[in-house]
Amino acid sequence: MLVTTIVLCVFLGIAINVEGKKCNFDTYYVTWDKLEDKQQKYAEKMKWNEKNWALISGPSVTATLNYDSLIKTGDNKEEITNKWGKWKPKKKKTIKKFLKKMGLKVEGKECYDKYISNYDDYEWNELPKKSEKSFKKLGWNESSWNGDSEYPDYTCLYYNELTNKQKKYMKNIGYPEDKDGGNWRWDDYPSTDLERAESCIEVRCKKYPDDYTEDCRYFANTDYYDYCDFDTTDPEDTIDPEDWRQYFYEVEASSGKCVAKSTCETYGIYYSCEDTFVKSWCDEDFDENCLILDQCKCELPSWYCSEDYGYEKMENWYETTVNGTCETRDWCDIFTDYYNNDIASLKIDSQYMTPLFDKC
């Protein structure tokens, strides 16, 4: 399943049975546009924004750190960087103020680590006993927690696919019930780790065989939308925004069904194995698709080097190497031969192509 086709949902209108009145984090489960301007202002101070609040591009960096990591101390004062962003530790009273102004009563370590970061930055032996018991019931152990063995299969599922017992244990570790039947707010799936994502495809393929081909390719056909309904032979369709589908989906010859191409196949076909293309589509908020594409090895299809590719001859773009593989030509040569050193000729592609040619 392509990560690009999956968007994590935000819980709406959830009634949460919290531990007494100590923790109150209802605000965390409303949509960004429902927050007041003041709440958004302080959320941004905590590195939350519209995208990572809704988890479209993964979580906020602060939602992956435990409470102690947010606080500036003598041993914790250097800037923290992970794949989700950067965080400069601040004084405890500042953090409490930010969270309070957001309307979150999770200013303390116990509440924050359970309901916001969900023990994401904890060592196995640091977990509270009750939470550790629930993690074990969900299939975790110290080895899987440390990433030395496979994660439990349930982590490849969405909330409405969990059993009632699994939902109960999820609540015990800080994930409230999602009565809309969507997803829990943050989890490892869809993963930004390529190996992990492929592992989840196998899990889901086994559990939901009707949704996949025999070799576990995800069927993209739905009752609402045909992802393979594009016509690449129509010259008037060459600048149609819908054209992007041909790079992500294809009709499988054996079944006649629309299937999703793999993420790394898309990296070769759509991005021509060029990281600059990826970065031009990604924003600075650590887009999940960009993170997984960074792990792809080039899979540029051989037909890119055929005499006639797509709508026009592309011999100025691609070439067959002495090893018989198809590769993109040096981009400066493309700029010279195909665009005649003229940035203006890039037209609709200029915002994506220009970064490639700035160095030429």
Q: What are phi and psi of 211, to 5 degrees?
A: -90, 0
Q: What predicted TM-score, i.e. pTM, was given to this entire model? A: 0.75
Please spell the DSSP secondary structure of 72-125, one letter per residue.
--SSS-SPEEETTEEE--B-HHHHHHHHHHHT-B--SHHHHHHHTSTTTT--GG
Domain range summary for the chain, segments of one domain joined by +: 3-192, 279-360
In order along its 360 residues, the chain shows pLDDT tens digits of 333 322 223 322 333 344 445 788 788 878 899 999 999 999 999 999 988 887 766 788 999 999 999 999 999 999 999 888 899 999 999 999 999 999 988 889 999 999 888 898 899 999 999 999 999 999 999 999 998 999 999 988 888 888 999 989 988 998 877 666 554 554 555 577 888 888 889 999 999 999 999 889 998 876 667 788 776 555 554 445 456 778 888 888 888 889 988 888 888 888 888 887 777 777 655 566 677 888 888 878 887 887 665 545 566 788 888 888 888 888 888 888 877 777 776 665 566 677 777 777
